[in-house]
Structure formats: structure tokens, C-alpha cells
Amino acid sequence: LGVTVIYLNPIFEAESNHRYDTGDYHKIDPLLGTKEEFEQLIKEAADRGIEIMLDGVFSHTGSNSIYFNRENQYDSLGAYQSKESPYYTWYTFHHYPDDYDAWWGVGTLPTLNKENEDYQSFLVDDENSVIQSWQRSGVNHWRLDVADELTDDLIKKLYRQLKKEDKSSVLLGEVWEDASNKSSYGNRRDYFLGGVLDSVMNYPLRRIMLDFMKGDVDAFFVNRRLTTLHEHYPQQYFYALMNMLSSHDVERIITMLHDYLPGDMEEEHRVNINRAQVKGLSLWLYSFPGIPSLYYGDEAGVDGGADPDNRKPYPWGNEEQDLLKWYKQIGKWRKEHPVLRTGHWKPHDLHEDLFGFERWIDNGVDAFGHEAHDEHMVYLFNRNITEKRTAHIPIRKGKWQALQNKKRIFSSKKGNLSIELNPSECILLRFMQ
């Protein structure tokens, strides 16, 4: 699949299946395995050029945890049990012990006081802190759950500790909006000012793509919004964003696209259009600046509505082979062609249904001024599910070859390339001469 990073949802001991209700930050959930097996996973992955990123859920714990111990299942003096608990100041109680701050009012997720010095020491500063303990096990990369609910000071502290041990460590934040001008809890956030986050999840891109597919916006709007995002984000961030179509928090892309299609469409045709749309959006993602994130099972045809339906098991032995082959192919393209990773980027709105963009490296220099092999590619996609559309794109003169089918070669004449795209068809072209 061309994967270089595996991002895991929470793996620490917890009561629930989703494990966002942490019971013990220092222990692997026994349903998953042991600490030793996890450390072996890190080493085995590294041997294959793959790194591991963990989900850091540091805004709240589980009520059933060492720290809160509401269910009295841990051999500890939890904050719920006594005001003398070493963890009591980590939480905010209004009428002790049953009235306390909880994440979105969910009683099993008591909210942590992120400014509490003792909690910050437990999380970052102490020799046996959560971060330092897992650093010794080889964990260098973290995705911060609900980063908006952590203070910038705490995020900076996490950042400094990670970089102190390994400058290539990555701290990524869950942010759903434009992270360059994000405000939360009355404060303007410093995510992109340096020393805070290395990257964020690119939900704005996903929203633009899906609105385009639904027909809520046209290609001209997509061009404007993506250009705005490109202008807002410093280039280093724009090229390091975590881009995705599905995640554990949203419906799977196959289900969403299927639901957008007309209900009176014949089911076989509906499935064919659905898969063509998935291919069109995934190729968009894999050709676009940023890091494409593949939610497990999307490559195998797994569907799923709202949580928890979007967390079905992987269908071992029953994968959709055509889709799996497709994801392997686009993963290979991205890996083999540096232009798709660090090349310059320019969007094109060619018709209300036609969106595309160029990626290029010229004169041996990529978008960051680094030496790279010259290459020029064009991505095009027709969102219309019933009508063909012809793309007239102003482009350099010469021959252009389709990566999907290298027998398809198009000629650009007088600086203009014309290509007819079938309904829901996508294409990635490479300049030949």
C-alpha cells in the first residue's frame, strides 16, 4: 500500500472498545497484547520503513481508571473516592463526588485540569511520565486527541520533550477547522507559529471534497476554498497535513458517497458509480500536497455509517480485490514519484463538474528549493454521474501519458490540452516530452 506510518487509535488499558476512556496510561490494553509485543511491533515496522504514531488522549480519562476509580476496580485511591487522593486536583468537582466536569457531559469521561502542575509532571516532566516512559519504548510520534481542549502551553511542553529525544518526532493535532486562525475557549491558538504542532488533520479538505461530490458546491468554489487554505497555511504545514476521506469519527467514504447517489438508480450501476467516485477522491488525495491517510478497510471496500458502525473489523479473505489493487497502485505512484509529495501545486476549475490540479518539479528544484528530478503531472476528475465532460486545460506543449493506462497518450497543442472524461472518471497524466 506504500504505507510509511501506522497511526493507532488508543491502545492503553481501558474499559471500552474504543479506549478513549483511559484506565492506565502506562499499560497496553491486554486485549491487544503486551508492552513487549508492542515494542516488537515498533521494531518490525521500522525494518519495513514504517513508523508508529500513537493517539494521545490527554484531555480526559475514564471514570474507571487508576486516577478517578469511580467503579472501585483499581487498587488505588482515586479522585472520586477521596479528596485526599493524589489525583483529586486533576479534576474539577462541583458537588463532590458525583457532580464533576466531564467531556461533553459524558460521565464516564471525567475532564482533566490540563493546567494542573502535578498532572503536567505526570504526563511530561517526570522521569516516569507518560511521554518519557513510552519514548523509552520507541514511541516518537503522537496524535493529540481534541487538541483544542489542551492549552498551548501544555502542547508546547509535549513538543519540547519529543524533540529533545528525537528531532524527527512528529506531534499532530486533531483540529477540525482552519488551524491557521483557530480560536477555542476564547483564545486564538498558536498551532502554526512554531514549537507547538508539526501538523494537523485536514478535515477542511475532506469537507470541500464531499460538498463537491454532493453537488452543494461547484469546481469554482473548490478552487477558491483550496487556494484560500493554501494561502492561510505556511507551506511546510500545507505539505505535511494529514489528509483523509474516512476516520473513526465520521462515516466511511464508501457509505457517504453511496448515500449521495439517487435512490432510484439500479443497484449494480449504483455500486459501479460509487467505486468510481471512491477512486476519483482517493487519487485526488494521493496526488494532493500533504500526507494521505488511509483508514483501515477503506482499501478493502468496508462500509459503515456513524460511530460505531464505521469501526467494523477488517474483512480478512473477503476484500474487494479491485479496490485493493487500486489503492496499492496509487500508493506505489505516490512513493515512486517525488513530484506528488514535494512538487509545486496549482488548482484548475475547468467546468462546474471538472476539478483538477498540476504538480510539477522544474529545473531540478521542488517546492521547498530541494534538488529533485524534473516531472510534471496533472490530476483531473469529472464528478458528474451521468454526463461526459471535456476538460480544456492550459498546459505545456507536448505529449501526456495516463498513468492508469500508458497506452492512452494525449497531445497538448498551442498550450492547450483537451480530454473527454466519462461520468465519475478520474485521470492522472504525466508529461512525456
Q: How far is CA 251 from CA 80, 244, 247, 248, 257, in A?
A: 35, 12, 7, 8, 10
Q: What's the mean pLDDT in 286-298?
A: 98
What backbone phi and psi angles, to 5 degrees, belong to 127?
-60, -35
How sure is the predictor about 222, in pLDDT bands with cuts at 50, 70 and 90? very high
Q: Which residues contact 196 (CB under 8 A, 6 or more apart)?
A: 152, 155, 156, 159, 190
Percent of the chain with pLDDT over 70: 100
Active site (annotated) includes residue 320: no
pLDDT of residue 189: 93
For residue 34, pLDDT over 80 is answered with: yes
For the chain, the average pLDDT equals 97
Cβ proximity of 229 and 178 under 8 Å: yes
Q: Each residue of 113-144: pLDDT tens digit?
A: 999 999 999 999 999 999 999 999 999 999 99
Cα–Cα distance for residue pair 339/335, rounded to 1 Å: 10
Write out pLDDT tens, residues 315-339: 999 999 999 999 999 999 999 999 9
Could you tell me the three cell numbers for 81? 473516592
What grid cell was written down for 172? 499532530
Handedness of CA 310, 316, 320, 323 (dihedral sign): positive
Whether the CB-CB separation of 323 and 301 falls below 8 Å is answered with yes
In the chain, the percentage of residues whose pLDDT exceeds 90 is 97
- The predicted-structure confidence for 226-283, as pLDDT tens digits, reads as follows 999 999 999 999 999 999 999 999 999 999 999 999 989 999 999 999 999 999 999 9
In angstroms, the CA 326 to CA 178 distance is 31
Q: If you average pLDDT over residues 29-55, what whole number do you get?
A: 98
Q: Specify whether the CB–CB gap between 180 and 186 falls below 8 A.
A: no
What are the tens digits of pLDDT across the range 208-219? 999 999 999 999
H-helix or E-strand spanning residue 228: helix 219-232
Residue 226, amino acid: L
pLDDT at 414: 85
CA 334 to chain centre: 16
Helix (H/G/I), strand (E/B), else coil: 124? helix
**CB-based contacts of 336, cutoff 8 Å, min separation 6:** none
Nearest 5°: phi and psi at 5?
Answer: -140, 135
75 is catalytic: no
Tens of pLDDT along 343-401? 999 999 999 999 999 999 999 999 999 999 999 999 999 999 999 999 999 999 999 99
Residue 290: which residues within 8 A CB-CB, separation 6 or more? 202, 205, 238, 239, 240, 241, 242, 243
Active-site hit among 13, 145, 251, 303: 145
DSSP symbols for 60-80: B--SSSTTT-TT--SSS--TT
Tell me the residue length of the chain: 433
- Domains in the chain, CATH or no CATH each: 5-334 (3.20.20.80), 342-431 (2.60.40.1180)
Cβ atoms of 78 and 87 closer than 8 Å? yes
- Tell me how far apart the alpha carbons of residues 298 and 314 are, in angstroms, rounded to a whole number: 9
Please state the rounded mean pLDDT for residues 155-179.
97
Which candidate in 21, 51, 55, 174 is catalytic? 174
Report helix, strand or coil for 350.
strand
Helices of type H across 35-86? 35-47
Helix axes 267-287, 203-214, angle to 10 degrees: 140
Cβ neighbours, 10 Å, residue 398: 14
Q: Give the pLDDT band (50/70/90) at residue 51.
A: very high
